[in-house]
Structure 1
Amino acid sequence: MTLYSGYIRQPHYYETDQMSIIHHSNYIRWFEEARVDILSFLHLPYQAIEEAGIIVPVLEVSCQYKEMIHYGDTIRIGVLVEKYTGTRLDFRYEIRDVKEHLLTTGTSKHCFLNKETQRLVHLKKAVPEFHKIFADYAQLQNKIHEK
């Protein structure tokens, strides 16, 4: 298993305000795009998770704007699994430019629910193969970042 290298994106013109600066509301969408991308990278696309009867709602999201992003910039959104417990999955995002300068940071917190009952699910019991992927990835990521 390898680490996720990030989600590369170029802002669209419609995402800007009058000053050609990316409107603040778009960053949350970008976090979601990057989250969907890392799940696909882990071979756990949302479609597979939902087909297993699990939904992953957003419980909380935050965004800290450090520098402006403009139309025409190329950015990379790094996604880190900040916490995985089997019932919770929290991500940390770092948006950087091509020179690796930090532009924006953020987080999102999620839980796993049974699609039909809307009750909390522990992946280790409900879908052990999903649990193994998340647990292994979180462990690999933590091991590499500790160095």
Structure 2
Amino acid sequence: MECYSHKVQYYETDQMQIVHHSNYIRWFEEARTYLLDEIGFSYQRMEDEGIMIPVLAVNAEYKSMTRFGETVLIEAAVKQFTGIKLIMEYTVRDKETQEVRCVGETKHAFIDEKTYRPMSLKRKHVELYALFNGLLQE
């Protein structure tokens, strides 16, 4: 699967034109959204079908600096999937040099939009379960 590409904007940097650490978390979300679009089950479709997928935890390890004007590639992959919980992992690389800039992960739960209770995709949304399960095995 193709990586998500992001060109660093000036507003994402500090006075030294180095990307502020909080932006990597936003990029994780952009890459996750891109991945869902690519597999044909967007966030919008999930919400339309009554599925919410809140973030429970985020972890990021910064390996090297990213600067204004550079383009990074963000790879999002399914690390763990139970049908109720999901862990995504991310690798942010410089597009030109392939140097790793950051690695991280996000933890999520699938919940019912009406009850805010955990939902088993295996029982209630078989198609989405199969898509995520397929990503886990890649």
TM-score normalised by structure 2 residue count: 0.97
* Corresponding residue for residue 60 of structure 2: 63
Deviations 1:15-53 (A, max 9, x none): 110000001111111110111000101111001111111
Counterpart pick for 2:24 among 20, 23, 27: 27
Structure 2 gap segments, 5+ residues each: none
How many residues are paired up? 137
Aligned residue runs from structure 1 range 22-101, under 5 A:
22-98=19-95, 99-101=97-99
Instruction: Choose which of 11, 15, 22 in structure 2 pairs with 1:14.
Output: 11
Q: 1:25 and 1:79 mapped to 2: Cα distance?
A: 17
Q: TM-score, normalised by structure 1?
A: 0.91
**In 2: Cα distance, 1:86 partner to 1:79 partner:** 18
| Residue number in structure 2 paired with 1:135 | 133
Q: Which stretches in structure 1 are left out of the alignment for 5+ residues?
A: 142-147
Q: CA deviation at 1:113?
A: 0.2
CA deviation map 1:38-82 (0-9, x unaligned): 010111100111111110000000111110000011110011100
**Matched residue SS, 2:90:** strand
Counterpart Cα distance in 1 of 2:48 and 2:37: 14
For the aligned residue pairs, the C-alpha RMSD in angstroms reads: 0.7
Identity %: 41
Tell me how far apart the structure 2 counterparts of residues 114 and 22 of structure 1 sit (CA, whole Å): 36
1:89-112, Cα deviation, whole Å (9 max, x unpaired) = 110000001221111001000010
